[in-house]
Amino acid sequence: MLTCQQMTELVTSYLERDMRLWTRLRFELHLGMCQHCRRYLRQMRETIAAAGSLPQVEIPEDVRDELMRRFKNWQP
């Protein structure tokens, strides 16, 4: 069975339907037994829907380049 931490790491793959069948079954089994992960999944879906309804804004090239540089060098 998957842990809650593993669930949060896999949620994007689940929502994008980019998950092997066995992993998906384990994911859904955990969802069936864990109200916290069901809530987290619902929140992720709501966040995606809300973000998708925002107008697209053009990012200045220098800002985009700086963000990309920072993400490339980011370490936890």
Grade residue 28 by pLDDT with cuts at 50, 70 and 90. very high
Count of CB atoms within 10 A of residue 27's CB?
20
Domain boundaries in the chain?
Answer: 4-55
What does the pLDDT average to over 16-29?
96
Residue 4 has pLDDT above 80, yes or no: yes
The separation between CA 28 and the C-alpha centre of its own chain, rounded to angstroms, equals 16
Residue 8 has pLDDT above 70, yes or no: yes
Rg (alpha carbons) of the chain, rounded to whole number = 16
Domain 4-55 in CATH 1.10.10? The answer is yes
